[in-house]
Amino acid sequence: MPCQWTNGYSFETALLLSIFLGMFGLDRFYLGYPAIGLAKFCTLGFMFLGQLVDIILIATQVVGPSDGSSYIIPYYGPRINVIRSDNTTYRLKQDNW
């Protein structure tokens, strides 16, 4: 897996903020989205539906830091690789043990 640029945003911190304090928008403030964080704070996470959606989006790594960097994830952490599906067979290269 190639190196990815990070800027200090932890995946675990973002996910825990989204689960426990997402209704107040702290997950979006942490990731650098203050407008969405303020909207979630004023509406209690869009009546808790926005909090649930954000938990799913952060857990699947669809929403990342606003500066375009990658999350800091431990070596054996839940990094998601995009695999294309078409008529050609692809195989992900495994690391040497």
Q: What is the mean pLDDT of each run of 10 residues along the chain (97 residues)?
A: 82 96 96 96 94 94 92 79 69 69
Residue 79 lies in a domain: no
Residue 28 lies in a domain: yes
Residue 59 lies in a domain: yes
| CA–CA separation, 74 and 16 (whole Å) | 15
Residue 27 lies in a domain: yes
Question: Which H or E element spans position 51?
Answer: helix 49-59
Residue 77 lies in a domain: no
Q: Which domain holds residue 60?
A: 6-72
pTM, rounded to two decimals = 0.78
Nearest of 62, 47, 84, 83 to residue 15 by alpha carbon: 62
How many domains does the chain fold into? 1
Position 1 scores a pLDDT of 57
Nearest of 43, 47, 46, 52 to residue 19 by alpha carbon: 52
Position 42 scores a pLDDT of 96
Residue 78 lies in a domain: no
Calculate ∠ Cα 81-84-90, nearest 5°. Answer: 90
Residue 83 lies in a domain: no
Residue 84 lies in a domain: no
